[in-house]
Amino acid sequence: MKPRVLLLRAAGVNCDRELAYAFERAGATVEQRHIRELAARPAAVAECDLFAIPGGFTYGDDLGAGRILAVEVERFLGEVLAEHHARGGSVFGVCNGFQTLVKARLLPDLADVRATLTWNASGRFECRWTRLRVEGGLARLLPEGFVLPAPVAHAEGRLVLADAARDLQRLEAGKRIALRYVDARGRPTTDYPDCPSGSSGGIAGLVSASGRILGLMPHPERNLSAAHTPDGGAGAWGRGGEGITFYRALLSPYRSGAVV
Amino acid sequence: MAEGAWRVELEMHSGQPDPPGEVAGTALRQRGLRLDARVRSGRAYMLPGSLSRAEVERAATALLADPVAESARILEPGAVSADGGRTLIVRRHPGVADPEGQSALRALKLLQLPLPSGAVVESYHTYRVDGPVDGVELLAAGSRVLANPTVESAQLGDRPLQPHRAPPERTSRRTEVALQPLGKDALLGLSEHRGLALSLAEMCAIQGHYARLGRAPTDLELETYAQTWSEHCKHKTLTGPVHMVEQDASGRVLRERRFQNLLKETIFAATERLAPPWCWSVFQDNAGVVGLTEDLGVAVKVETHNHPSALEPYGGAGTGIGGVIRDILGTGRGARPFANLDVFCVGPEGLPPEQLPPGALHPDRVLAGVVAGVRDYGNRMGIPTVAGTLLRHPGYTANPLVFAGCIGEIPRTAVHKEVHAGDAIVVLGGRTGRDGIHGATFSSEALHQDSESVDATAVQIGDPITEKKVLDVLLQARDRDLYRAITDCGAGGFSSAVGEMAQDSGGAEVELALAPLKYPGLSYAEIWISEAQERMVLAVPPERLDELLALCSGEEVEAVRIGTFTGTGRLVLRWHGEVVGDLDLDFLHHGVPRPQRHAEWTRPDLAETTWPDADLAELLVRALGHPAVASKEWVLRQYDHEVQGGTVLKPYQGPEGHAPADGTVVKPRLDLPQGLAIGVGLAPRIGQLDAYAGAACAIDEAIRNVVAAGADPHRVALLDNFCWGDCRKPDRLGSLVRAAEACHDAALAYGAPFISGKDSLNNEYRANGVERPIPPTLLCTAVAPVHDASRVVRAFLQRPGNLLVLVGAARPAGGGSVAAELLGLADSAPPLPDLERAPGVLAAVHEAMRRGLVQSCHDLSEGGLAVAAAELVLGSRHGARVELGRVPAEGLPALSQAGGALARAFTETPTRFLLEIAPADLEALASLLRTCAWAPVGEVTAATELALCADGTPVAQLSAQQLARANRVPQPIAS
């Protein structure tokens, strides 16, 4: 049986098409359900392997990106998601989905680390291609050091930690850092534009201790072919299609024969 | 405690960046405020006074504030903060939409706080000076630069804030307006007094109609004529009879023509003659529709939203894009938007404030506002904004232009719609408020210096998430066949939407009291003509109504039945049962008088351009920095141009993402190979010299752009958007006629039909008795299929050693060009596409692409060959060497003569392309270009610089970095 992905829909979710397509290309069956529908029948979450919150502007980013959806997720789906995770299921958030996971305090899952995603240092929405390096937190799924080119498109993607130096160390030591922005030579950076947000530690994505709650700001689902890259796969942004590799990796625990 | 409201005011922690605060500080200082301290920006909310402090604290920490990044301050009702005297508070006027406040209210309900019924949450902004400042001066300066008086007010924080009271109620009883005793002056006075914008002839026609009926019209009926007959809705000029006289400079008549319907006999006539089978729906629906595959089409529409954007740039541009998206949703039985485009024409950058006409906003503020408006609406809708441009010219200072376009994909089976008598009239989406009352008539009137104060209700603020929810349910409803027809509520609101749809079934009956309202107290007339955003009107078969309403309620979209379509020939409007309007549909839609307009055009007497000698390197640097050429990447990076994952040829591309594209290519469906190329063209500087040339050049540019991206030139569809001065004046109308004729001629020559269009014909500004029209501006938008979107052609250099081939001959005509303007050359003959040869050039270039011979391609536009080559270099990691002596030329001075090199580098002759090919492919290319003027003019080099040479000697040599800096390409910064 193919891995089953459940995509959350809500007012303002708008990256559902490309995310569904990417998961399908990576070998999953994809179902989409509205938050109202899940609030009425939370058990539907149990029918999937991977629960995904796509990018978008849920509720217009009012009160801060992901904030209102986070309240809804906590209130309506908090329990079923905890059970889903305990059973070996994954929770994945991209862009606004990541913001939602952070605002719902599902990420980072370290009791003494307080984090948020807030306005880019530029104060502006930024849409541009970046390079992401796989860090220790994601090494279970992808080779550490693998470079994944993908565009970002967000205004509130800067990871802020309550105690930057101390918290960075804890995230690092706890293998909670999934992806970092790197420059053209592969070195981690917090400098604009390679790190468009000025995110703390150049962090682009976080992962839980289990490795099964994952969120990232960039959009690997917009890099499925050479034609997607800004230079047609000529090499400045990889060869194109690295997003497929990424989504295959997310699904790998759920392929038939795989042991969770 | 129940009096007043709690306030929760939030600021970023002091260690966090606060760009809006910095921008505010800069704006205040520029306004002359003495300010040494930082300005801290904040967001804030007013909550019901009946909550307890503990409840408000819970709301603040659990919902409103982000405790990691922000600090919160809670003020009890009636309290003021200690630093209120140096805090500026910016609030919306009562009745102005506040989507964030509504979101906050909705979320507070999720926290299960005890909110009173009818509770309101208002959001507002604060700007706190973190040090000493004179409060009076802060308020004076802040009111000007931090608030827009059209929609907002500013006050200091040293006095309590009162929640807005409910808006005043209007009496709403059936009211008749006696017309019969009125003479001409009184009729006109009535039209003006009621803001109807109806002409004397139109008032007389209405008077006559009611004399025959033997009764007086109701106020609602008059409003309905005003909306339906407005220039905005009816396009009386473009579709009306015109008598055109052409004369020479001495006044001798050269030619006379009479049109019964200008549009039909020019633009539409060309479309009818071409009538390709891939045109599925032209000039009849909210958008034109062309086929992309056998069963999938694209719906394309471009609108203008000029006057609202002049008053409130952010809201105007946002609702402009929101409106055109609804046009696409309302095309056929609904298309799914997959691309947006926008074009802005504004006044000069850094215009000295003393040159700003009274009542006008500064062009830089207009631009910042319209960019933010398109960004926030388009990004939230999840539609990539992929194409467009930005033009700056003194002619737009008082009357900026904002074009917003949207493209959707639509199954062939959904292209046609029909309304049946008996179908329910359902309004779906946003609620109706007092916003945008008289938008249709207002946009048909010229701007004047009091516009800012009197027309506040004509401005609308958008709510993109409501529209996104509408989009989501509509596409599901369409695919489940839950409705038969749909249209959007645009200008004129219900009156236009229901009025138009009623034509199809032959009548309608509406109970206005059923429409959901934002707040109580609207009169029936306000409900009928309100232009509140985000509303659609559907014709729903009665047996599908319940299923539709259930679908909507499942996704929190409000949908309400307000009436029934009929076949009675009448539009009957009720208010709590009483008939307040009963209109004859035939008279409503066909009764408008069609007076003949007079047009005149004086053939310009322009000499050939005399190109001088000048330092080419210096001129190139200046050309690259000219607003028409300068990088617009800073705008595009604020738009999510990648959402939906279909953007394969990006507006800025290349290894660093700095190479500007000619056309962009988007795949509407990720699982299909086809893409759609999108290009725009406009040439108002040329149009000012000769409207015919300006229009033809705009069309050529739009087509060039899509062909350069790899699209099929035999499948190009065009859209026209005319923005002109007051066409009741014969000279303005004369240039419009010339432009329409150019559209006709060019469409036939290129085989590219126009499929949709829109005009905005009153772009004049009157102040102190002076009338200023904008430059005649035709925006031409082109779309064409790229049959295999994985093989688009990019616009940056690929490989050193490759050849650069120039296709198309340079001619001397340079009137209206960037170089002519920079060199201060006297007006001279503008360029004109060679309509006989241009199609052959386009076909040959495309064939070369199809055979895989073209590795990169850039069209020659503003700044000619020099700028095109410079852009190819600055967007790549290679360089180029170009020999001007090899440029194919007709009628230019010899290379060694005065102006010979400069003309070859900078003339803007249309229909020319610079192609990069492998040396081994030269022979194959040569056989394709047999009938074109062409030549290899240079090569790609490893050195990252551009060298323009004359007879082998470099006459301009600039590094890629110099080019990028001159072009104002955004530079990297360390954080």
pLDDT in tens, A91-102: 999 999 999 999
> pLDDT tens-digit profile of A191-212?
999 999 999 999 999 999 999 9
- The C-alpha atoms of residue B674 and residue B792 are separated, in whole angstroms, by 11
pLDDT of residue B696: 98
- At residue B496, what is the residue type? S
The shortest C-alpha distance from B187 to chain A (Å) reads: 47
Confidence of residue B581 (pLDDT cuts 50, 70, 90): very high
The shortest C-alpha distance from B463 to chain A (Å) reads: 8
**Cα diameter, chain A:** 49
Task: Assess whether B232 carries a catalytic annotation.
Answer: yes
Q: Which of B125, B209, B232, B858 is catalytic?
A: B232
B379/A153 touch (CB, cutoff 8 Å), yes or no: yes
Nearest to A123 among B17, B555, B670 (CB): B17
Testing the interface with B: which of A197, A231, A239 to mutate, by most B Cβ within 10 A? Answer: A231
From chain B, the residues in CB contact with A128 under 8 A are 637, 657
Nearest to B104 among A62, A121, A192 (CB): A62
Model confidence at B120: pLDDT above 80: yes
Residues B149-177 have a mean pLDDT of 83
Testing the interface with A: which of B122, B123, B338, B465 to mutate, by most A Cβ within 10 A? Answer: B465
A12/B380 touch (CB, cutoff 8 Å), yes or no: yes
pLDDT of residue B280: 98
Give the phi and the psi of residue B134 in degrees, each rounded to 5: -80, 115
B110/A72 touch (CB, cutoff 8 Å), yes or no: yes
Instruction: Look at B971 and A157; give whichever has higher pLDDT.
Output: A157
Walk me through the domains of chain A, giving residue ranges and CATH numbers: 4-254 (3.40.50.880)
Model confidence at A259: pLDDT above 70: no
A57/B789 touch (CB, cutoff 8 Å), yes or no: no
> pLDDT tens-digit profile of B393-443?
999 999 999 999 999 999 999 999 999 999 999 999 999 988 777 655 555
Which CATH number is B5-156 given?
A: 3.30.1280.10
pLDDT of residue B925: 98
Q: Indicate the Cα dihedral angle B495, B501, B503, B509, nearest 10°.
A: -60
> pLDDT tens-digit profile of A6-58?
999 999 999 999 999 999 999 999 999 999 999 999 999 999 999 999 999 99
- The C-alpha atoms of residue B750 and residue B716 are separated, in whole angstroms, by 9
Two tokens, residue B720 = 């026209």
pLDDT of residue A210: 96
> pLDDT tens-digit profile of A119-161?
999 999 999 999 999 999 999 999 999 999 999 999 999 999 9
> pLDDT tens-digit profile of B335-391?
999 999 999 999 999 999 889 988 889 999 999 999 999 999 999 999 999 999 999
pLDDT of residue B452: 42
State how beta strands A115-118 and A90-94 pair.
unpaired
Residues B726-746 have a mean pLDDT of 96
Residues B847-857 have a mean pLDDT of 98
Confidence of residue B453 (pLDDT cuts 50, 70, 90): very low
User: Chain B: residue nearest A201 by CA?
Assistant: B975
Two tokens, residue B520 = 């109580």
- The C-alpha atoms of residue B409 and residue B609 are separated, in whole angstroms, by 45
> Where in chain B is CATH 3.90.650.10?
665-966
Which residue in A175, A224, A217 sits closest to A54, CA to CA? A217
Nearest to B19 among A123, A160, A231 (CB): A123
Testing the interface with B: which of A8, A14, A167 to mutate, by most B Cβ within 10 A? Answer: A14
Helix (H, G, I), strand (E, B) or coil at A116: strand
Neighbours of B10 (CB within 10 A): 21
Give the phi and the psi of residue B346 in degrees, each rounded to 5: -135, 170
Two tokens, residue B657 = 């993402």
Kindly state which CATH superfamily the domain B665-966 is placed in.
Answer: PurM-like C-terminal domain (3.90.650.10)
Q: Are B10 and B42 in contact (CB under 8 A)?
A: yes
What single string gives the DSSP state of each residue in B615-630? Answer: -HHHHHHHHHHSTTTS
Query: Could you list the active site residues of A?
Result: 95, 219, 221
The shortest C-alpha distance from A12 to chain B (Å) reads: 6
Model confidence at B82: pLDDT above 90: no
User: Chain A: residue nearest B637 by CA?
Assistant: A127
- The C-alpha atoms of residue B684 and residue B392 are separated, in whole angstroms, by 10
Reported for B349-354, long-range contacts at CB under 8 A and 24+ positions apart, including other chains, are B349/B392, B349/B627, B351/B397
From chain A, the residues in CB contact with B24 under 8 A are none
State how beta strands B570-575 and B122-129 pair.
unpaired
Give the phi and the psi of residue B719 in degrees, each rounded to 5: -125, 145
The shortest C-alpha distance from A137 to chain B (Å) reads: 23
pTM value is 0.96
ipTM surpasses cut 0.95:
yes
Rounded to the nearest angstrom, the gap between the alpha carbon of residue B598 and the centroid of all alpha carbons in its chain is: 30
Q: Are B435 and B533 in contact (CB under 8 A)?
A: yes
Model confidence at B201: pLDDT above 90: yes
Nearest to A227 among B12, B790, B972 (CB): B790
From chain B, the residues in CB contact with A103 under 8 A are 66
The shortest C-alpha distance from B904 to chain A (Å) reads: 30
pLDDT of residue B439: 54
Q: Are B21 and B41 in contact (CB under 8 A)?
A: yes
> Where in chain B is CATH 3.30.1280.10?
5-156
Q: Which of B125, B209, B235, B305 is catalytic?
A: B305
HSE on the CB side for A142, CA within 13 Å?
A: 23
From chain B, the residues in CB contact with A115 under 8 A are 68
pLDDT of residue B807: 98
Strands (DSSP E) found in B292-423: 296-304, 336-346, 385-392, 401-411
Q: Indicate the Cα dihedral angle A173, A179, A183, A185, nearest 10°.
A: 80
From chain B, the residues in CB contact with A34 under 8 A are 554-555
Give CA separation, B147 vs A61, A231, B38, B936, in Å. 22, 42, 19, 56
For the four alpha carbons of B702, B703, B705 and B710, in that order, the dihedral sign comes to positive
What does the mean pLDDT of chain B come to? 93
B107/A68 touch (CB, cutoff 8 Å), yes or no: yes
> pLDDT tens-digit profile of B9-27?
999 998 899 999 999 999 9
> pLDDT tens-digit profile of B773-784?
999 999 999 999
From chain B, the residues in CB contact with A234 under 8 A are 655, 798
Q: Indicate the Cα dihedral angle B878, B881, B884, B887, nearest 10°.
A: -60
Confidence of residue B450 (pLDDT cuts 50, 70, 90): very low
> pLDDT tens-digit profile of B29-58?
988 999 999 999 999 999 999 999 999 999
pLDDT of residue A260: 47
pLDDT of residue B808: 98
Q: Are B197 and B121 in contact (CB under 8 A)?
A: no
User: What percentage of chain A has pLDDT greater than the value 90?
Assistant: 97
Q: Are B538 and B583 in contact (CB under 8 A)?
A: no
